[in-house]
Amino acid sequence: MADSKHIILVGAGPGGLCAGMLLSQRGFKVSICDKNQEVGGRNRAIRLSGFAFDAGPTFLLMKGVLDEMFELCGRRSDDYLNFVELNPMYQLVYDDQKLDVYSQPERMCAELDRVFTEGSAAYGRFITNERDRFNRLYPCITRDYSSLTAFLSLDLLKALPWLAFPKSVFINLGQYFNQEKMRLAFSFQSKYLGMSPWECPALFTMLPYLEHDYGIYHVKGGLNRIAAAMAKVINECGGEIHTHTPVQSLIINNQQVKGIRLADGEEIYADEVIIPARHYFSRKLKWGPIRFQQRKMTWRVCLRRPAFVPLQPKTQNIGFRLASYFDLARMT
């Protein structure tokens, strides 16, 4: 019986909450421990002076993925969250021009023709070709690559030409847009990956495509409300979430993880322990008396990382406060 198994998840970020939703819906006893006072991890709320701020992103892309997670739990995301589709999605400011960016094709074509005089035909080619790329690559991106046999898939081999290797996003956009400013309008999204358009692999041209074909959304109350909604589903399904509960180490017996040890010394045992965190943070946990196989773990992590993405320092956005007022649109 599924409900006879106890599963502990370390971390109440989006991954932990999503796993908690799916597992608790299927009848498992779920316990989630998180060191913060708010659920959400990087997507949690920061509360100051009666106001709530998003600790991480402030807009939602690929809403359909979130909808699917709720549907798998027999629920509708719209019953828990109030979504607002943005149109225009944002405004791009050049030295002498402003471009409003829409996810509505007619309005976007009209805006491109207004600013660049030759945009609408190129935009149609961009949407058509990048939709084909996305439909070919998305099943490959979302599949499990935890074993070598997963790389022998015929679908994966058929998708290889769509990687457009070794082109960059900026070069790939050249097949649609001649003007540099037009390419920049569809390539700045590469900064989400900490890369420049001239270095980012061409397959990530799907990022601007997703914005234009699927839209961008705000959630009333902030994106932190998504984490709160997921936590609500977990509670409705009988799961438990323990905030302000840092995990210090794993309990290991006979080379198997049997539970967790909290910072206050309390030990909690379970049938399974899931650490839905980045590899760096999972390695910070004290592993107890276990011979950790460095070579094997490193191989598994590298296996899941695209070989064509070079290792680079992570970028960091820095904000400056100026003593001037700028009349800018909401998303600029």
**Amino acid 9: pLDDT:** 97
Quick: pLDDT tens for 16-46: 999 999 999 999 999 999 999 999 999 999 9
- Indicate whether 109 pLDDT > 50: yes
Q: Residue 255, by phi and psi: left (phi above 0), alpha (psi -120 to 50) or beta?
A: left
316 vs 189, which has greater pLDDT? 189
Residue pointed to by tokens 């970020």: 13
Burial level of 15, CB count in 10 A (0-12/13-18/19+)? Answer: middle
Task: Kindly report the backbone phi and psi dihedral angles of residue 62, in degrees, each rounded to the nearest multiple of 5, phi listed first.
Answer: 60, 55
pLDDT-derived band at 323, boundaries 50, 70, 90: low
Question: What residues pair up with 47 in beta bridges, in sequence order?
Answer: 52
Task: Identify the band that residue 280 occupies on the pLDDT scale cut at 50, 70 and 90.
Answer: low
pLDDT of residue 326: 62
Q: Global pTM?
A: 0.82
Q: 62-76, 159-173, 262-276, 306-320 — which is least confidently predicted? A: 306-320
Nearest to 115 by CA among 211, 208, 181, 186: 181
Cα–Cα dist 97/262, whole Å: 56
The arithmetic mean of pLDDT across residues 201-207, rounded, is: 93
Contact call for residues 32 and 9 (beta carbons, < 8 A) = yes
Contacting residues for 66 by C-beta, under 8 A, at least 6 apart = 60, 77, 226
Residues 262/246, Cβ–Cβ less than 8 Å: yes
**DSSP code of residue 202:** G
| Residue-wise pLDDT tens digits, 224-260 | 999 999 999 999 999 999 999 999 989 999 889 999 9
As a whole-number percent, the residues of the chain with pLDDT over 90 amount to 65
Radius of gyration from C-alpha coordinates of the chain:
23
pLDDT at 287: 57
End-to-end C-alpha distance for the chain, whole angstroms: 52
Predicted local confidence at residue 306, as pLDDT: 39
Q: Is there a contact between 232 and 73 (Cβ–Cβ < 8 Å)?
A: no
More confident residue, 313 or 63: 63
Four-residue CA torsion sign, 82, 85, 86, 87: negative
Please write the tens of the pLDDT for every residue from 82-96. Answer: 999 999 999 999 988
Q: Which two tokens mark 309?
A: 């993405």
Contacts of residue 62, defined as CB under 8 A and 6 or more positions apart, other chains included, come to 210, 214
Per-residue confidence (pLDDT) for residue 296, from 0 to 100: 42
Interior angle at CA 10, CA 248 and CA 269, nearest 5: 75
Query: Is it the case that residue 307 has pLDDT exceeding 70?
Result: no
Average confidence (pLDDT) over 259-268: 94
User: Torsions phi, psi of 102, nearest 5?
Assistant: -115, 155
CA-CA distance, 196 to 156, in Å (whole number)?
Answer: 27
Q: What is the pLDDT of the chain when averaged over all its residues?
A: 86
Omega of the bond prior to 161 within 30 degrees of 0, cis? no
Position 311 pLDDT exceeds 60: no
Coil, strand or helix: which one is 52? strand
Domain borders along the chain are 2-83+221-292, 87-214
Nearest alpha carbon to residue 264 among 288, 245, 241, 282: 245
Give which of 27, 304, 325, 2 is closest to 151, Cα–Cα: 304
Sequence-ordered list of residues with C-beta below 8 angstroms from that of 330, at least 6 positions apart, any chain: none
Query: Which tokens sit at 49?
Result: 């002076």
- Pick the closest to residue 245 from 232, 260, 259 (CA basis): 260
CATH superfamily of 2-83+221-292: FAD/NAD(P)-binding domain (3.50.50.60)
Q: What is the pLDDT of residues 142-192, one digit of tens each?
A: 888 888 888 888 888 888 888 888 999 999 999 999 999 999 999 999 988
Q: What is the DSSP letter of 286?
A: B
CA dihedral 61, 65, 66, 70 (to 10 degrees): 170
